[in-house]
Amino acid sequence: MSRTAVLMKNKVIVEIEELPSYLFIAVKGTLDEYSEFPEVTVTQNRDVLFDLQGFKSINSTGIRLWMEWIKNLNFRIFYFRHCPKVFIDQLNNVAGFIPDNSVIESFYVPYHSPVTDEEASILFRKGDHFVKGRILGMPEVLDSNFSRMEIDILPEKYLRFLPRFSR
């Protein structure tokens, strides 16, 4: 069963798909004061996978509404994939932004080229780029002139969530 919750004033789209071994929830758009979330029925001992590929932005009211919604979901494990920088920033700064029984499977790291002023978001995947709270290595990213791009975050600050949420 698949369903999509879209409300006219909503800038957020929540797509829910019931899969054999877990519930899939895609969250796209902007979380703000107009955000409304669908009711989710949780089957006992069930996992959930949140895909945040289209997650764009969140304001303070959106944070509060998100936290109220997610705290009422009683899944065994919460998995998060394609976490954009705006999501990781909130995860690092807001206690309880995601449940303690959460695992980050992948997240984006911003890069910038001082030569061309290009920007890129590189997806870091569990097992490929990080394991058990530590980065395996920062990939080399090149701009359109084949110049090396620089990481556009402070790793010690941006990656604070890793030890807690990368089991």
Identify the three-state secondary structure at position 21: coil
DSSP 107: E
- Rounded to two decimals, the pTM is 0.91
> CATH number of the domain that 109 lies in?
3.30.750.24
Q: Indicate if the pLDDT at residue 28 is higher than 80.
A: yes
For the chain, the average pLDDT equals 92
- Give me the domain span that covers residue 64: 2-165
Report how far residue 59's alpha carbon sits from residue 145's, in angstroms, rounded to the nearest whole number: 36
Q: Report the percentage of the chain scoring pLDDT > 70.
A: 95
Q: Indicate if the pLDDT at residue 8 is higher than 70.
A: no
Q: Which pLDDT does position 7 carry in this prediction?
A: 42
- Number of compact structural domains in the chain: 1
Ordered alpha helix ranges (H), the chain: 60-71, 85-93, 155-158, 162-165
DSSP 9: T
- Element at 166 (helix H, strand E): none
Cα 30 to its chain centre, rounded Å, is: 13
